[in-house]
Amino acid sequence: MRTPLIVGNWKMNKTASEGRAFVRDFQQLVEPSTDVEVVLAPPFTALESVRSSLGATSRIMLGAQNLHWEQQGAFTGEISGSMLLDLGCRYVIVGHSERRTLFWERNEDVQKKVRAALACGLRPILCVGESLTERETGQTERIIDEQLSAGLDQLTDANLKTVTIAYEPVWAIGTGRAATTVQAGDVHRSIRAFVANRWKDAAAATMRILYGGSVTAQNAASFLESPDIDGALVGGACLNPDSFAKIIAAAN
């Protein structure tokens, strides 16, 4: 019932011309399919080259890695949702743990970004996840509930339909130490229960919850076969067209 979604987060990797070369190789490997949605999230500077290389009829969609909550104005160095929309973005990653930890994004900031994305018609991918210390001290559920409470605060049922959650345990991101499918499945179920509690069962049933954290071509299938996991947010392994194509194949 939920179409799997595979998102490649390039982080601060690839120039505009490297983005063009990636798309050229990637399009040879990935068959267009209605069974899985694919999003590439390059750096802002490569959005235009990736968009034009994909071509107007591609099923592969464009996403951004961040946005500012204001529409325009004196915010040097920032990018607004409407600017991203104008570049062809459909999705935007919000509250990635690297933004939270390296750039001090707080739950309040993430909330404003989710609202700004929705207001301009972008689909936010709200990232949540606990640190290793938080997991080891039994705080996983509390931390994720706080992140969800802030990020989803006051959203209507209609808004919620366009939101995707990405569960990304901080200790699994870029470490090569993925969560087990049991660990991920447990958190995914508690995220769905959180949504069912505050909104309706139907909203929870349709919401896509992705797993992210050291997903590779080798382990993707074990995550994607789990009924609680609706796709993947992929960092390192999405930079290579071949590995990313294999992850997408695992979702098909």
Numbered residues of the known binding site for substrate: 9-11, 174, 214, 235-236
CA 195-196-202 angle, 5° bins: 110
* Residue nearest ligand PEP (C-beta atom): 235
Instruction: Enumerate residues 184-243 that contact ligand PEP by CB under 6 A.
Output: 212-215, 233-237
The β-bridge partners of 208 are 164
DSSP letter at 179 equals P
Q: Least distance to ligand PEP from the beta carbon of 11, Å?
A: 6
Q: Least distance to ligand PEP from the beta carbon of 249, Å?
A: 17
53 binds ligand PEP (CB under 6 A): no
Q: How far apart are CA 105 and CA 64, in angstroms?
A: 17
Instruction: Enumerate residues 147-176 that contact ligand PEP by CB under 6 A.
Output: 168, 173-174
Single-letter code of the amino acid located at 10: W
**Interacting residue with ligand PEP among 8, 9, 95, 105 (CB under 6 A):** 9
Q: What residues contact 185, with CB distance under 8 A and at least 6 apart? A: 226, 228, 229
The question of whether 96 is a catalytic residue gets the answer: yes
129 binds ligand PEP (CB under 6 A): no
Q: How many residues does the chain have?
A: 252
Please say which residue, 8 or 81, places its beta carbon nearer to ligand PEP.
8
**The dihedral formed by the CA atoms of 11, 15, 21 and 23, expressed in degrees to the nearest 10:** 40
Binding site for ligand PEP (CB under 6 A): 9, 11, 168, 173-174, 212-215, 233-237
